[in-house]
């Protein structure tokens, strides 16, 4: 069959026409030119400094590696780009974008797109409109021939990707999956006018570093919190993931309320399942190992009296587990702190 | 450094045309925007030296940067992973739409340079000489790449199968 040149032209014209609907990203362009200007100035200063350094090296007989000149390397994520093509988390895990999509909540109820997937774990990162943290889109993945819907892990929802600008894991897809359909639906609550407008999504596959890095320094739990009653720290313990996956502490119970705070640090924060036990009984309150306390607050659970003895020692176990095996190659910490009410 | 107002005026006037070309090369709107921005940044740095043919200059960068990206494995994998629709594609229920879709898919499987030649010759309507200048190669290369690209579109498995069914 011969290709009709006119038809080919029409096809190319038709497929590229939506460009007319896409606004010029002035902000991004300005950032890029600003950075280029800054690099030029830095390079000029560095050139002047290099003259001095070369003299020093000549005297000592050493070898100086000045490095390659700065280039516009597209594989390096722009810090300002909310959906970068590639970025590296502090623990050395590399996130590489494999697909993107946009959801205009004013005009679309949902957007679906097919993604070719490999064996690496997947994650989704959202560029959220302002004020979007309480109204986030529904997200799920369909795998051909599989009835089950897959969503984010360890909990469904995209709230934390908006809160923390971190990629959320996608539940592991069945082994051998090579293609999956990703769907993002407009938040259901609120009127169309109230809903956040434009969302962008990036689907990523991630690879932990070949060599496990050292775990970051754990964040210290607060010495006290709340006022009525005030909870004061009784004991705390931190272990390093993945060598240890459980913390057990024992505290005396005097009849005053006890509160438990547990969190994970590093790349595993907010990404592992968590299970708490009090004197061997599961509390069923914990779901994920949350991020460490920060300026925005922290979570804790007051232990119910039904799980506690009349008086005596109370043993608390906090266990974390990963649904995605690659987390065994990502360092982190698990901290458990127990508090007692002052009154 | 570029004169800000002059540069902005150029970007405002040329953005849409450049983005269309970049999309046909990358088949991904985010990557296309990234490509155009990369080319515009390079143009901004060289602005005083560009002369009057600014859009041609930027277009040339777009094609060459795209070919260099294609050579990098990550970028190739990204492009071949599909082009998630930013908007629902209009569905034509006639058989012609299916054929057009197959041609579109077949175009996506062409190597970067052959796809670039197709876009230059059949979207930009450039002559072989103009296409050769843009890609920095000989007219003979353009001829051979065009010939190979069109041949692949003709013999593409899915395309051929569809054609066979339709007859």
CATH (domain of B114): 1.10.10.10
- Whether the CB-CB separation of A115 and A203 falls below 8 Å is answered with yes
- B6, B14, B37: best mutation site toward chain A, by most A Cβ within 10 Å? B37
User: Domain limits at B29?
Assistant: 1-76
Model confidence pLDDT, tens digit, residues A86-141: 999 999 999 999 999 998 877 888 899 999 999 999 999 988 776 554 567 888 99
Residues in A closer than 8 angstroms to B146, CB to CB, are none
DSSP state of B33: H
Residue A236 neighbours by CB distance under 10 Å? 17
- Residue B40 inside a domain? The answer is yes
Spatial distance between the Cα atoms of A83 and B34, rounded to a whole number of angstroms: 11
Nearest to A160 by CA among A141, A194, A136, A187: A136
Q: Do B106 and B55 share a structural domain? A: no
Helices (H), chain A: 5-16, 26-60, 159-164
Kindly report the nearest CA distance between residue A332 and chain B, in angstroms.
28
- Residue B27 inside a domain? The answer is yes
Single residue among B25, B43, B76 that ends a domain in this structure: B76
Confidence band of A221 (pLDDT split at 50, 70, 90)? very high
Q: Do B72 and B4 share a structural domain? A: yes
Query: What's the number of domains chain B is made of?
Result: 2
Q: Do B65 and B17 share a structural domain? A: yes
What residues of chain B score a pLDDT lower than 50? 1, 73-95, 155-167
Q: Do B112 and B52 share a structural domain? A: no
Strands (E), A43-197: 86-88, 94-104, 110-116, 122-127, 138-142, 152-153, 168-170, 179-185
- Residue B33 inside a domain? The answer is yes
Integer angstrom CA distances of residue A253 from A224, A231, A339, B122: 18, 14, 11, 80
Residue with tokens 């093509």: A85
Q: Is the pTM of this model over 0.80?
A: no
Single residue among B25, B42, B76 that ends a domain in this structure: B76
Using omega within 30 degrees of 0 as the cis cutoff, is the peptide bond preceding B140 cis?
A: no
Interface list for A 223-282 with B (CB within 8 A): none
Confidence band of A80 (pLDDT split at 50, 70, 90)? low
Model confidence pLDDT, tens digit, residues B55-74: 888 998 898 888 877 765 33
Spatial distance between the Cα atoms of A215 and A91, rounded to a whole number of angstroms: 8
Single residue among B45, B76, B107 that ends a domain in this structure: B76
Q: Do B64 and B104 share a structural domain? A: no
B19/A19 Cβ within 8 A: yes
- Residue B120 inside a domain? The answer is yes
- Residue B10 inside a domain? The answer is yes
Which residue from B minimizes the CA distance to A10?
B123
Q: Do B55 and B125 share a structural domain? A: no
Confidence band of A79 (pLDDT split at 50, 70, 90)? very low
User: Which residues, 6+ apart, have CB-to-CB distance to B91 below 8 Å?
Assistant: B97
């Amino acid at each position: 069959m011969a290709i009709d040149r006119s038809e080919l032209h029409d096809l190319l014209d038709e497929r590229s026409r939506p460009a007319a609907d896409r606004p010029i990203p002035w902000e991004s362009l300005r950032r890029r030119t600003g950075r280029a200007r800054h690099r030029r100035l830095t390079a000029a200063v560095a050139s002047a400094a290099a003259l001095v350094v070369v003299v020093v090296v000549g005297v000592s007989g050493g070898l100086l590696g000045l490095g390659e000149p700065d280039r516009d390397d597209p594989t390096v994520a722009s810090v300002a780009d909310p959906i970068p093509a590639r970025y590296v988390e502090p623990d050395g895990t590399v996130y590489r974008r494999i697909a993107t999509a946009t959801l205009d909540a004013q005009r679309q109820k949902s957007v679906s797109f097919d993604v070719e997937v490999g064996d690496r774990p997947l994650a989704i990162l959202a560029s959220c409109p302002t004020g979007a943290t309480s109204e986030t889109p529904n997200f799920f993945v369909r795998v051909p021939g599989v009835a089950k819907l897959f969503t984010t892990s360890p909990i469904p929802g995209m709230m934390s990707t908006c809160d923390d600008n971190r990629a959320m894991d996608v539940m592991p897809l069945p082994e051998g999956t090579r293609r999956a359909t990703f769907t993002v639906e407009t938040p259901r609550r609120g009127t169309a006018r109230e809903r956040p407008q434009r969302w962008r999504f990036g689907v990523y596959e991630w690879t932990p570093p070949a060599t496990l890095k050292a775990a970051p320094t754990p964040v210290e739990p607060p010495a006290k919190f709340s006022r009525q009653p005030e909870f004061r720290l009784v004991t705390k313990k931190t272990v390093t993931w993945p060598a240890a996956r459980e913390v057990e502490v024992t505290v005396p119970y005097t009849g005053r309320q006890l509160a438990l705070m547990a969190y994970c640090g590093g790349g595993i924060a907010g990404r592992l399942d968590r299970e708490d036990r009090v004197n061997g009984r599961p509390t069923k309150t914990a779901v994920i190992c949350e991020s460490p306390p920060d300026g925005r607050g922290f979570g804790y659970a007051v232990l119910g009296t039904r799980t506690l003895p009349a008086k005596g020692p109370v043993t608390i176990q906090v266990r974390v587990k990963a649904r995605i095996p690659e987390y065994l190659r990502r360092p982190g910490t698990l901290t458990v702190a127990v508090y007692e009410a002052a009154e | 450094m570029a004169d800000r107002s002059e540069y902005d005026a150029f970007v405002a006037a040329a953005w849409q045309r450049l983005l269309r070309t970049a999309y046909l090369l990358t088949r991904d709107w985010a990557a296309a925007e990234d490509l155009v921005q990369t080319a515009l940044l390079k143009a901004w740095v060289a602005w005083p030296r560009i002369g009057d043919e600014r859009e041609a200059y930027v277009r040339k960068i777009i094609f060459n940067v795209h070919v260099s990206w294609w050579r990098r494995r990550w970028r190739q994998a990204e492009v071949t992973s599909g082009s998630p629709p930013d908007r629902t594609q209009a569905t034509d229920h006639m058989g012609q739409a299916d054929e057009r879709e197959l041609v579109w898919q077949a175009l996506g499987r062409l190597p970067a340079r052959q796809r670039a030649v197709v876009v230059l010759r059949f979207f930009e309507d450039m002559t072989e000489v103009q296409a050769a200048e843009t890609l920095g190669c000989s007219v003979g290369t353009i001829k051979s790449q065009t010939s190979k690209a069109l041949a692949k579109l003709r013999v593409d498995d899915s395309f051929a199968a569809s054609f066979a069914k339709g007859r």
